Structure 1
Amino acid sequence: MLRYLVFSVVALAASGAAAQSVTVLGGGMARKCSDAALAGESDRRFEEDCTIALTTEALSPRDRAGTFVNRGVFKLRRGEFAAATADFDKAVSIQPELGEAYVNRGAAAVGARRYAEGLADLDRALALGVQEPEKAYYNRALAHEGLDDMKSAYFDYQKAVELSPEWDAPRRELARFTVQRR
C-alpha cells in the first residue's frame, strides 16, 4: 500500500499549503518515492524515483495513483503548481476515490490563486475522507480567505487546530482574527 502525501499551501507562499503523501507498500522505487514524500523532501532526485517507478514497476492501481500523488507533492513543494496538478489529475483518473489526490490538487489550485477551484477539490477530499483532514481544513481556510469569506476561513482554521492541536500553522493563522459578536 502506498502512503500519499497531502500538501498544505501554507508553507508555499507566505501562507503555504499543506500536502499529504501516500504510503506505498513493498520495495522498489515507488516505496523510495513514498518514503521521501513522507519525509518532507522536495528535491528533484526524489521526483525521479517516482518517475522511474511509474515507468518500470508493475504497480497496483492504488500504488500507481499514490505514486502520481507523491510525485506531484514534490512539484507542489517547489511551487510548480501546473506540473503538480497534472500529476494529481492522473491520480484522480486512476483512483477517483483517493481523497489525498483531491487535497493536493486543491492545495495546488490555492497556491496558484484559483481559490474556487481549490475549494471544490478540498470539499471533495473531505467528503471522501483523508488520513490527515486537518490539512484539508487548513487549505480550505486558505481558499476561503482568498475568496474573502473570512467567517468560513476562521471556522476551518479552528477545525484544523481541533484536529491537530500541536500544528502551529493554523494556530498562527487564527491569531490574526478578532471575533466580535453582533
Structure 2
Amino acid sequence: MKPLRIGITGGIGSGKSTVAKVFEAFGIPCYYADSNAKRLMVEDDEVKSDLIAYFGEELYPDGVLNRSWLAQKIFESEEDRQFVNGVVHPAVAKDFERWADEQSSPYVLREAAILFETGGYKTSDANILVTAPEEVRIERVMNRDGVDEQSVVARMRSQWSDEHKSKLADFIILNDGNSTLIPQVQTIHEAILSRANQAN
C-alpha cells in the first residue's frame, strides 16, 4: 500500500520546518524539497548536464556547484530562474515519488516553500499550510538570517499571500509563537490517518 502524499508549506518565516519536525516526532517521514533540490543539483547527472548546457562550465568550477554565482543569476533574471525551476522541480518530484514509495508509514510529508506557486500541491492527497502573522514572520527571518526588514518583505512579496494559499489548503496550522503546535498537529495527524485507513 502506497502512503498518502501530504504537502506541507508556508511562507518564509512561518516555521513550516518546525511543524514538519513535530510530525516527524509522530513517526511520519518528511521529505524536505529544498535540501533535496540542492543535493540533486550536485548528484543528479541529468540535472547537472542540463544546467551546464544552459549556464556553461563555470557553474561547476572543478566539478563543484558555485551556489552563490547561481543564486545571483536567479536573482537578476526571471528567465534564468524559470529555467532552473524547470530543470530542478521535475527532478525533485521524481525523487520524492521514489522516496515516498520506499516508506512504510500510512502517509508521508513533502515540505516545500513554494508548493502552491509551482502547482506541486495538485499531486498531493492533501495539503497543510503553516501560517503566522506577518510581523512575527519578519522578526523570525531577520533574527535567523541576519537581514533587514526590507529584504525580508521583498522575499515575502515574491510568494503568494496566506489568504491566497489558504483557499487551496486542506489543513491550516497557526504557528504564531503563542498557539501550541502539538494539539494542532495531532488533530491533523488523526484526520489524515483516518483518510489513509479509508483509502486502504
TM-score (norm 2): 0.26
| Structure with larger Rg | 2
TM-score (norm 1): 0.27
Query: 1 or 2 for the larger relative contact order (CA 8 Å, sep ≥6)?
Result: 2
